[in-house]
Amino acid sequence: MSSKQFFLIPLLALTAQADVTLPAIIDSKMVVQSGTHAPIWGWADAGEAVTVSFAGQTQKTTATANGKWMIKLDPLVVSAKPQVMTIKGKNEIKLDDVLVGQVWLASGQSNMEFSLGAIPAEEKKIAAKQKRNKLLRMFCAGPKVSSALPLSDVAGYWSDCSYFIEQMTDGKIQTYDSHSAVAFFFGLKLQQELKVPIAVIDSSWGGTKIESWIADEGYEAEGLALRKLSAKDEATAVTERDALEKSIREWRAEAAKSLKKGDFVSPNLKTPRARGANAIYNGMIAPIVPFSIKGVVWYQGESNNQSKDYFPKLKALTRGWSQVFGISDMPFYLVQVAPYNYAHSKTEGISPQSIYDSVVSAQYQAAREIEGCDVINISDTVFGDVKNVHPPHKKTVGDRLAALALNHDYDKSVISSGPRFVAAKAKGSTVTVTFDRIDKGLETADRKTPNWFEVAGADKVFVKSSAKIKGDTVIVSNTEVAAPKFIRMGWNNIAEQNLRDKNGWPVFSFNAEITP
């Protein structure tokens, strides 16, 4: 975030500030990222001296003329011991039960937002066993807030498993009440494998497009147009921002009371939907910047079905977030959109390949070309229900995302990819397809012949084709296409391809030209 944005402070917050105050992201039960100069910030009177003491170190600073202050901690070693962080100005704040470990941000639309309260019974049973796990934490940005200008705080709170697992088992968490199931299972797998404190920041919003999540810096880095506010609209936006900040402070006060009593925190906060191309970034991500994180897991794309520019938008998203969080080539792991029959809705003119030609192809390109980026395939998690855009089984999704992080960021020798297409070579009407990243060998999940293979001639009219596994290759043929020029597998909105590695990871879809 630019310095201009970072120091936008609501006027209400500057009035008779007196006491040192903190944003929601800095609170008791938080996890501080180890090994980095983690920022701690807040507000106070202009010129007020502020001291932050934690884990044997003390950092001092002075609030600037607009009331903002920030210190950066010296890099910390991992610690599962609950510690107290003390922030002192004219008043003193003590944050209890603070750990040091690994922090990740989970974001996207409804499949990331999909909560622990809506997963199948067998997955709830797995989650319920973690009720006493004190080393897995979540920060949940529950209420959905958008703003034409960046906000300085978010309506959210920290909690550990003892709180949110109880809310799940009591049936308090509804389908979209934050507490992302994907984020939970991702964090749980990391915590179990690394044996360190793990926190996942859950900030997601169903039905949103990628454009609304991109930081100004991302738009600028990729040279993408971002509609600026007129002077009149900006004056209105300032008033609306101040009102939003006031509503968020009131919500946080009520949430604190609920948490103290062990009650469920209501995600309800009535706010207007703001104008602005990236209003959701301003309301849901900007307020937690520059909290120190390790990386991002991202599950979004359904709302960008048919987008022609999803890849440049992904580049803008990743570059912008890398810049505002201060992480070069930030780990950014994508979930390939699950099979869904988009034509099942009332939308007209959706082709059977629409999500692949737009979002999935861009996700694959991002995995190849954007440093720090990779993607997982979850085509085997819908179990035939392609009319449900929200497949409820989320554990596999979280586990596979965690495998990417374990492999790429923590040097763990774990499988983190299914087989990926390398080449297709034709001899007459027969095509041999080769793959890399094969672990234990190819098989089909249902013990039948490989499905969803299609070939086409120069006319690019694809026809269903027979396929068989031969060692680490697949042999594809169709007598209707004497001279095949193109081949694809699983390149369909509803494709649940059965080809996989014997370790259970599905083969990635592909759409390619055939080498003679």
CA 22 vs. chain centroid, Å, equals 25
Asked if residues 32 and 18 have their Cβ atoms less than 8 Å apart, the reply is no
Asked if residues 416 and 333 have their Cβ atoms less than 8 Å apart, the reply is no
Residues 6+ apart with CB under 8 A from 313: 210, 211, 214, 224, 304, 307
Nearest to 247 by CA among 145, 102, 109: 145
Q: In the block, which residue shows the tokens 């996890």? A: 31
Spatial separation of the C-alpha atoms in residues 258 and 266, rounded to whole Å: 9
Query: How are beta strands 463-464 and 453-456 bridged, if at all?
Result: antiparallel
The residues pairing with 424 across neighbouring beta strands, listed in sequence order, are 433
With a cut of 50, say whether residue 15 has pLDDT above it.
no
Structure token digits, residue 465? 């084709």
Q: Which helix (H) or strand (E) holds 220?
A: helix 216-221
pLDDT tens for residues 72-107? 999 999 999 999 999 999 999 999 999 999 999 999
Q: What is the pTM of this model?
A: 0.95
Over residues 361-374, the mean pLDDT reads 98
pLDDT tens for residues 459-497? 999 999 999 999 999 999 999 999 999 999 999 999 999
Spatial separation of the C-alpha atoms in residues 299 and 134, rounded to whole Å: 26
Q: What percent of the chain has pLDDT over 70?
A: 96
- The predicted structure's pLDDT at residue 12: 38
Fold classification of 3-7+99-409 is Rossmann fold (3.40.50)
Spatial separation of the C-alpha atoms in residues 102 and 294, rounded to whole Å: 7
Asked if residues 83 and 14 have their Cβ atoms less than 8 Å apart, the reply is no
pLDDT tens for residues 188-211? 999 999 999 999 999 999 999 999
pLDDT tens for residues 326-347? 999 999 999 999 999 998 655 5
- The predicted structure's pLDDT at residue 344: 66
Q: In the block, which residue shows the tokens 């900030």? A: 203
| Long-range contacts of the stretch 480-484 (C-beta < 8 A, 24+) | 481/429, 481/455, 481/456, 481/457, 482/428, 482/429, 482/457, 483/426, 483/429, 483/457, 483/458, 484/426, 484/429, 484/431, 484/455, 484/456, 484/457, 484/514
Spatial separation of the C-alpha atoms in residues 220 and 198, rounded to whole Å: 33
Angle, alpha carbons 330-334-339 (nearest 5°): 175
CB atoms within 10 A of CB 387: 11
| Ramachandran quadrant class, 365 (left: phi over 0; alpha: psi -120 to 50; beta: rest) | alpha
With a cut of 70, say whether residue 7 has pLDDT above it.
no
Query: How are beta strands 295-299 and 92-108 bridged, if at all?
Result: parallel
Over residues 434-454, the mean pLDDT reads 98
Domain ranges of the chain: 3-7+99-409, 420-513
